[in-house]
Amino acid sequence: MAAIAEFQVRKDKLDETRRVDNEKPALGDGQILAKVDRFAVTANNVTYGVVGERIGYWKFFPVADEGWGVIPVWGFADVEASNHPDVAVGERLYGYWPMASHLVMRPGKVSKTRLVDDAPHRRELPPVYNSYARVSAEAGYDGDMDNDRMVLMPLYATSFCLYDFLKDNDWFGAGRVIIGSASSKTAIGTAYAIKSDDAPPTLVGLTSARNRNAVERLGLYDEVVVYDDIEKLDGNVATVIIDMSGDGGVLGRLHKLLGDNMKYTSNVGVTHFEANDMGPDFIRERSAMFFAPGHMQKRAKDWGPGEFEKRAHSFWRDAALKSRSWLTIQEARGPDAVEHAWRDVLAGKTPADAAWAVGF
Ligand SMILES: NC(=O)c1ccc[n+]([C@@H]2O[C@H](COP(=O)([O-])OP(=O)(O)OC[C@H]3O[C@@H](n4cnc5c(N)ncnc54)[C@H](OP(=O)(O)O)[C@@H]3O)[C@@H](O)[C@H]2O)c1
């Protein structure tokens, strides 16, 4: 491909999209050109767009035209050209890419197994997103797990953080955890982590009627409840809520039912991004946003460099292998496939037990 193809979305209207082709620039000293191979598209990427202004996700891959943006995705790329003495053409990298065919990078810190994109506009952004794995140099790198890794690693690393956070806080004194949007991969990973604890609390999965059977089939939740039946839950049990839905109606009803028994709510995601207004019953003082990169940075300080990655990697790999029993990853290629995957996920049409791995 001669040009760089980019899939752009209108920042304030995520279903308005366009493809833009840019000339490949001449590489400056120390720069490399990475050819993006494949990347995952899940609700997580839609959330990057929904909270793009608030959290700064549009800043990773900026576009000259202010109203438009490029959604970040997790996946693999191969180095197509290099003006960097320590990075060779043909190297494979795992990390955070634009929905585009290529990315020009400026590797800063380069170690045997990682490199950091030190492009000036990325320096102020959370370091977790700027760090790339040099997978060709990884001991035990298994290309057969590329699809599992691009879809599940960022989500299950968050699941591991959530479990670690709850455990570190003694489950906030609760004997029950309710997970909202229980069919999402981040929720399922959290359920894997909680269920592998020595003394897990009771785990309730809250989901939509259409996903109920899929969630029940996982056999991970002690109870599966659909959104319409929230009021049938026992309100007298001390409870922590891990919420991926961001659904103001759902959270308000849960908080009203539980009252003082709502010990803590972790607002992790916004899969129901069109229902985000929190009503009067939402208990703000015991609710807080969860930002996995922030937790990772805290653990890097607590545990020393590399330890979090080691533990999260081991958790991710085990859980990803288990997930092969229920998850179908659909691979597709070309600009139309990229657009189709985006629209399918944005409209909530991708089945809960499926995910996309696409590329230009
Ligand atoms: N805070 C953090 O650091 C962090 C890190 C990672 C992920 N997250 C967040 O966790 C959430 C889950 O991400 P994921 O990639 O794991 O999701 P996913 O697997 O793609 O989630 C799919 C599920 O989300 C719900 N959903 C998705 N689109 C919908 C729509 N348009 N309308 C209604 N429901 C819809 C449905 O679940 P139900 O029917 O069960 O509701 C669906 O089965 C995202 O919001 C993501 O950003 C946050």
Q: What is the pLDDT of residues 108-128, one digit of tens each?
A: 999 999 999 999 999 999 999
CA dist list (Å): 49 to 11, 44, 204, 342? 7, 9, 29, 11
Statement to judge: residues 263 and 343 lie in one domain = no
Alpha carbons 317 and 139: distance in angstroms, whole number: 14
Phi, psi at 109, each rounded to 5°: -70, 120
Domain stops at, among 293, 309, 338: 293
In this prediction, residues 47-68 reach a mean pLDDT of 95
My answer on whether 136 and 12 are in the same domain is yes
271 CA → ligand 1 middle, Å? 4
Does the residue 299 lie in any domain?
no
- Does 24 map to a domain? yes
pLDDT 10s digits, 163-202: 999 999 999 999 999 999 999 999 999 999 999 999 999 9
123 and 165 part of one domain: no
Instruction: With respect to residue 317, please indicate whether it lies within any of the assigned structural domains.
Output: no
Residue 1 has a pLDDT of 53
Reported as a pLDDT band with limits 50, 70 and 90, residue 140 is confident
Residue 27 lies in a domain: yes
State in Å: Cα 190 to ligand 1 middle. 13
Radius of gyration of the chain (CA): 20
Whether residues 163 and 279 fall in one domain? yes
pLDDT of 136: 87
Same domain, 115 and 83: yes
Those residues with Cβ within 8 angstroms of residue 329's Cβ, 6 or more apart along the chain or in another chain: 40, 147, 148, 151, 354, 355, 356, 357
Contacts of 284 (CB under 8 A, 6+ apart): 278
Select from 41, 44, 329 the residue to mutate for testing ligand 1; criterion: most ligand atoms less than 8 Å from CB: 44
Judge if 49 and 85 occupy the same domain.
yes
Choose among 344, 343, 178: nearest CA to 268: 178
**Probe ligand 1: pick from 57, 244, 297, max atoms within 8 Å of CB?**
244
28 is a domain residue: yes
Q: Which atom of ligand 1 is nearest to the CA of 42?
A: 20
Mean pLDDT of the chain: 96
Question: 293, 311, 345 — which closes off a domain?
Answer: 293
Residue type, 110: V
Please state the separation of Cα 333 from the chain's center in Å.
21
**Co-location of 267 and 181 in the same domain:** yes
184 falls within a domain:
yes
Same domain, 124 and 160: no
Token pair 């629209």: residue: 343
Residue nearest to atom 13 of ligand 1 (CA): 44
Same-domain pairing of 117 and 162: no
Per the domain annotation, does 37 fall within a domain?
Answer: yes
Angle at 11 between CA 6 and CA 12, to 5 degrees: 145
| pLDDT, tens only, 19-35 | 999 999 999 999 999 99
Q: Which atom of ligand 1 is nearest to the CA of 47?
A: 47
Instruction: Measure the CA–CA gap between 194 and 174, rounded to whole angstroms.
Output: 13
Q: Give the model's pLDDT for residue 254.
A: 98
Query: Is there a single domain that holds both residue 110 and residue 168?
Result: no
Domain end call among 293, 317, 340 = 293
Ligand 1 pocket, residues with Cβ under 6 angstroms: 42-44, 47, 155, 158, 181-186, 207-208, 211, 244-245, 268-272, 290-292, 347-348, 352
Give the span between the Cα atoms of 292 and 157, in whole angstroms.
8
* 188-197, 227-236, 297-306: segment of lowest average pLDDT: 297-306
- CATH number of the domain to which 16 belongs: 3.90.180.10
Q: Are residues 11 and 134 in the same domain?
A: yes
> Is residue 304, in this structure, part of any structural domain at all?
no
Query: The domain that contains 171 carries what CATH number?
Result: 3.40.50.720
pLDDT one-digit tens code per residue, 242-286: 999 999 999 999 999 999 999 999 999 999 999 989 999 999 999
Domain co-membership, 176 together with 267: yes
Say what percent of the chain tops pLDDT 70.
100
pLDDT of residue 61: 98
Report the relative pairing of strands 13-23 and 3-10 from DSSP bridges.
Answer: antiparallel
The one-character DSSP state at 100 is: B
The reported pLDDT for the residue numbered 306 is 83
237 dihedral zone (left: phi>0; alpha: psi -120 to 50; beta): beta
Q: What pLDDT does 139 receive?
A: 86
Q: Phi-psi bin for 195: left (phi > 0), alpha (psi -120 to 50), beta?
A: alpha
Containing structural domain, residue 259: 155-293
| Structural domains of the chain, count | 2
Of 93, 79, 92, 72, nearest in space to 32 by CA: 79
> Tell me: the pLDDT tens digits for 95-106?
999 999 999 999
Report the Cα–Cα distance between both ends of the chain, in Å, rounded: 10
| Range name among 10-14, 205-209, 275-279, 287-291 with the lowest pLDDT average | 275-279
CA 75 to ligand 1 center in whole angstroms: 18
